[in-house]
Amino acid sequence: MKKAPQCNAAVWSAIRRGSATVALAVLMALGFPAAASAGQDPGLRLGYYAGEDADDAVPTIGVFTRFDIPGPLNLEVSADYRRETLLDGDIEAMVIPLRVSALLNFLPGLSPYLVAGAGAEYVDLDFRNELAGFSDESDLVFEVHAGAGIEIGLGPASLGADLRYCRATAISGDELNAALGHDYDPSGWTASLTLGFSF
């Protein structure tokens, strides 16, 4: 039996239907008032995520929007996607993090920055192979993250790279704990490259 996550019913319903785009739109709408007079920089992110309990580091793909608030502090809203395996492939985890981050930029043009924020991760666990008889589990967990990066402005576009540590709430369940021997921890390090566009 799947666990019912403790979260807002409307957000959970949207995510359960696979509408991560809807949830991202809600998060973006929350950011608009603070950035009403700011530029908007949508972009794409590609990277690798090394999870605490995952068999291997896995590729990630994501989208983000950055709001260039006047001054050194900017806002980023993002959604990412990854699939990782545990126990040599007996468990497959699909993870969709939705995050809101603050970026502290130090210089224009070639700009190093610090980043920190919070969000939620939708996690769907699929038991396979020798564990195929176990019931699949899903949950929505809280996450915080922090890191550093660098961004290079190239006129209407920008290139960036950063490294972040993401700390998420562990997921527990009788069958999951029996398989792993402990709770599943989706926390880990993510390294990514970004391509943004200014409007």
pLDDT given for residue 130 in this prediction: 81
- Domain containing 95 equals 9-197
Q: How far apart are CA 176 and CA 168, in angstroms?
A: 17
The model's pTM: 0.76
The mean pLDDT value for 95-123 works out to 92
Place of tokens 């995520």: 49
**Is residue 3 a part of any domain in this protein?**
no
Share of the chain above pLDDT 70, in %: 79
What interhelical angle do 9-16 and 20-31 show, nearest 10?
140
pLDDT in tens, 152-181: 988 889 899 999 999 999 998 888 888 888
pLDDT given for residue 64 in this prediction: 96
**Is residue 104 a part of any domain in this protein?**
yes
Q: In the chain, how long is the greatest CA-to-CA distance?
A: 55
Q: Tell me the β-bridge partners of 199.
A: none
User: CB-hemisphere CA count at 13 Å for 28?
Assistant: 16
Q: How far apart are CA 77 and CA 65, in angstroms?
A: 5
Contacts of 112 (CB under 8 A, 6+ apart): 105, 106, 148, 149, 150
* Domain total in the chain: 1
pLDDT given for residue 11 in this prediction: 40
For residue 44, count CB atoms less than 10 angstroms from its CB and return exposed for 0-12, middle for 13-18, buried for 19 or more: middle
**Is residue 4 a part of any domain in this protein?**
no
**Is residue 40 a part of any domain in this protein?**
yes
**Is residue 30 a part of any domain in this protein?**
yes
The mean pLDDT value for 100-122 works out to 91
**Is residue 147 a part of any domain in this protein?**
yes
Q: How far apart are CA 179 and CA 177, in angstroms?
A: 5
**Is residue 1 a part of any domain in this protein?**
no
**Is residue 2 a part of any domain in this protein?**
no
Backbone angles phi, psi at 30, to 5 degrees: -65, -25
Kindly report the number of other CB atoms within 10 A of residue 196's CB atom. 22
pLDDT category at 98 given cuts 50, 70, 90 is very high
Kindly report the number of other CB atoms within 10 A of residue 39's CB atom. 13
Tokens coding 7: 């979260």
89: helix, strand or coil: helix
Q: What is the CATH number of the domain that holds 143?
A: 2.40.160.20
Q: Do 186 and 160 form a contact (C-beta atoms < 8 A)?
A: no
